[in-house]
Structure 1
Amino acid sequence: MPRSSKNNKPQLWHPRLWPSWAIVFVLYLLSFLPMSAKQRLGKRLGLLLSRKLKSRAHVADRNLAICFPELDEEARKQLAQDNFVACSRGFLESTHAWWRDVSPYCQAAEVHGLEHLREAQNKGKGVLLIGGHYSIFDFALPLVACHLKKPGYVYRPNNNPVIDRMIENGRRRHFGIRPFTKRELRPMVSFLKKGGEVWFACDQDFGGKTELFVPFFGVETGCITSPSYIAKVSGASVLCVSHLRMPDGGYRVVFSPVQEGFGADKQKDTEIWNRYIEDTVREQPDQYLWLHKRFKTRPEGADKIY
C-alpha cells in the first residue's frame, strides 16, 4: 500500500533540510540589523535581483505594461526596479516581524478608518478583513493585528517544512493570532461567529480554482469568491484593509468603511475588493506584488499575457 505524501515529507532535521536551516540561521542574524540598515540592504538587494531574476523582471514588466499602458518603456522599467526594491525591503522587514520587537512600529504607524473597524467589532458577529499582497508582507500582520481583539489570518503552508515553521512561528508570536489554511473554512466560519477577526489576502491567481473574472486595472482578472461565501455563512462584517510603507519610511494602515450587504452578490463583492486594491496601488504603485503572475488565468478565448 503506497505511503501518503504526508508521510513522505522529510523530518525537520533530515539532512536534506540542513541547507534550509542554514538559510533560517542567516535570516535570524539579519533580523538583528537596525531597521535603517535593513532598508539600505533591501535597496541593494532589490537592485541586484532586478538584474538577476530576469523571469520575474519579465512578469513585473508585463503586469505593469497592461495595468499602466500610459507609461513609456523607461518609466515602466524604473517602476519595476522600484518594485524589486520595495519587495526586498519587505522581505527583510519580515525577518524583524518574525524575531524582533514590533511594538514601536505598531504604535508609530499611521492608522486611518479605525472608527470603521470599531463599528464592525461592536456588531459582535466577527470581522472579515480583505487585504492584498503589498510589499511589506509579514511585517503588516502585527501592524493590523494590534488593533484587533481576537485576530486570525488565512495562509498557504510553505512546501518546505523548515521554511514553513520559520514563517508560521514568526507570525503566531503576535497578539495570540490564530492561523487558518484555505482548506479550513468551517473552523474559520466558527471563529468568526464567535467574534473573531480574520485577515484574508485573496488577490492572487488560483489557477483552476478561479470562479469568475472582474476588472482589475481594466484587465479581466481571475478571482475566487471565498470572501463572499465566508461573509454569507458567518454573518461577519466585511472591511477592506491596506498596509503600505510610505515614502517617508513610515507605515500606514487603512480600514475601509463596512461593506454593507457583502455576501449577497459574488460578482459585486469581488468587484468591490478588487477596486479597493486598485485604488490603493494607484497611490503607491511600487508597493504591490507585481512579481506575481496575477493574470495567468485568462477568460476563455483571451490571449495569454506571460
Structure 2
Amino acid sequence: MPHNTSTSLWRPGNLLAAFGVLLMKGSARLPLSWSRGIGKFIGSVVAIIFPYRRHVALTNLRLCLPELTEKERKDLLFRHYQSMGIGLFELAAAWYKPVEKLEEWSTVTGLEHLEAVAESGRGALLLTAHFTTLEISGRLLLNKRPFSCLYRRPDQPVIAKAMTEARKSRMNRVIHWNETNDLIRALRDGEFIWYAPDQGKRMKYSAILPFFGVPAVTNTATGRLARLGKAAIVPFLGYRDAKGHYHVEIYPELKDIPSEDPDADAVKINQLIESFIRKAPDQYFWLHRRFKKRGAGFEDVYAKSGRGK
C-alpha cells in the first residue's frame, strides 16, 4: 500500500511527530555532554520500565555472542538501551547542530582511502552498518567528503520530511533503497554513496548466509552494485568511546569484492560487520529481528519462550 505522504498537522500522529521534531531542534542546542547524559538516563528508564523488544535483542545476543554469560548479555543489553537513548540526541545533533560543535568531540581517520578512490575517478559504496551512531558518524564524515545516501523512507510523513530535508541540505542527493537505477547512475558518475546492507530483508538478491555463524537472510547485492556502478567498496565504522568521543574510521577499499561469487562476497561483508560490532557491541542495533523470515526448515528464534521473558 502507498505511504501517507501528507504532513498536515490535522492528520493522526502528525501533530505528535511535529512536536517531536521541535524537541529535536531544541535538544540540538544543548552541549553534547548534556544531551548524552539525558539520553543515557532516558535509555536506562526505558530498559527498566518499558524494555522495547527486549526478547528480540536478548535472542540476538544469545545467537551472536554465545561466549558471554547470560548476565553479561543482560548487562550489554542495558548499555544498548542507554546507547539508543543517546542515539536520539545524536540524531538531533546530526541534523540540526552546527558541525563545528560536533568536530570538537570527534576524530576521523583513513581519509586517504577515500582520496585514493576519488583520484581513480571511480565512485564508492561507503559500507557501514546500523549502529546507534549512524547519523552522527555520517554527518562527521560528510564534513570531510561530500557524498549521497541510500535510505529507506520512514512511514511517518512528518519524520520522513524532516529526514529528507536534513539530508538533502548537505548531501549531493538522497536515493531511496529501491531506486537501483539512480544508485548505479550516481556511482558511475563518481559519487560516494552511504550504504548499510546489514539488515536482513527478503528480496531478489538475498540468500541465507552465516552472520556470527547463524543462518540469516543476507543482502547479496553489494558486489553486484559495485560491478554495475564500476565502483569501489570502502568500509567505515563510526562509534562513541567511553569518554563520549566519536571516532569515524575509514578502512581500505575491499579490492577482492566483487568476485564471481556474490554469496562469498556477502559472507566476507558479514564478517567485516561482525568485527565492527565487536568493537562497539553496545552501539549495534540489536533490536532488529536479524534472523526472521528464513523460510521453511528454520526455527522461529523469536517465538516466545520462558527464557526470553
1:183-194 to structure 2, matched below 5 A, reads 183-194=178-189
1:26 is displaced (CA, Å) by: 2.1
In the alignment, is residue 288 of structure 1 matched against residue 284 of structure 2?
yes
1:242 and 2:234 are equivalent in the alignment: no
Q: Are 2:43 and 1:41 equivalent residues in the alignment? A: no
Counterpart in the other structure of 1:116: 113
In structure 2, what residue type is equivalent to 1:214? L
Amino acid in structure 2 at the alignment position of 1:82: R
Match of 1:267 in 2: 263
Return closer, same or farther for 1:210/1:78 CA change in 2, 3 Å cut-off: farther
Aligned-pair Cα RMSD in Å: 1.9
Q: After superposition, give the CA deviation of every residue in 1:111-155 in whole Å (9 maximum; x if it has no partner).
A: 332222221111112111111011113112211222324x11110
Alpha-carbon offset, residue 108 of structure 1: 5.2
For residue 151 of structure 2, the aligned residue among 143, 150, 155 is 155
Superposed displacement of residue 214, structure 1: 2.1
Are the counterparts in 2 of residues 130 and 238 from structure 1 also a CA contact under 8 Å?
yes
Output one character per residue of 1:61-109: Cα deviation in whole Å (capped at 9) or x when no partner.
1111111112222111110000011121011111111111123434652
1:217 pairs with 2:206: no
Q: CA, structure 1 residues 219+183, in 2 after alignment: closer, same or farther (shift >3 Å)?
A: same
Q: Which amino acid aligns with 1:165?
A: K
Q: Deviations over 1:259-300 (max 9, x none)?
A: 114223211221122111111111221110111111113254
Q: Which residue of 2 aligns with 1:279?
A: 275
Which of the residues 191, 197, 203 maps onto 1:196?
191
Does structure 1 residue 62 correspond to structure 2 residue 53? no
Residues 210 and 224 in structure 1, CA contact (< 8 A), matched pair in contact too: yes
CA distance in 1, matches of 2:297, 2:205: 16
Aligned pairs, how many?
Answer: 300
Give % identity.
29
> If each structure's helix is expressed as a fraction of its own residues, which one has the higher value?
1
- Listed one character per residue, the Cα deviations across residues 170-206 of structure 1 (whole Å, up to 9, x for unaligned) are 22333x3311001211111111111100011111121
Give yes or no for the alignment of 1:138 onto 2:135.
Answer: yes
CA contact (8 A) 2:33 2:244 kept: no
**Kept in 1: contact 2:46–2:52 (CA 8 A):** no
> Helix, strand or coil: the match of 2:301?
coil
Letter in 2 for 1:203: D
Whether contact under 8 Å (2:134, 2:238) holds in the other structure is: no
> What residue identity is the alignment partner of 2:297?
G
TM-score normalised by structure 1 residue count: 0.91
CA distance in 1, matches of 2:190, 2:63: 41
2:169 aligned with 1:173, yes or no? yes
Structure 2: 5+ residue runs without aligned partners? 303-309
State the AA in 1 paired with 2:15.
W
Structure 1: gaps of 5 or more residues: none
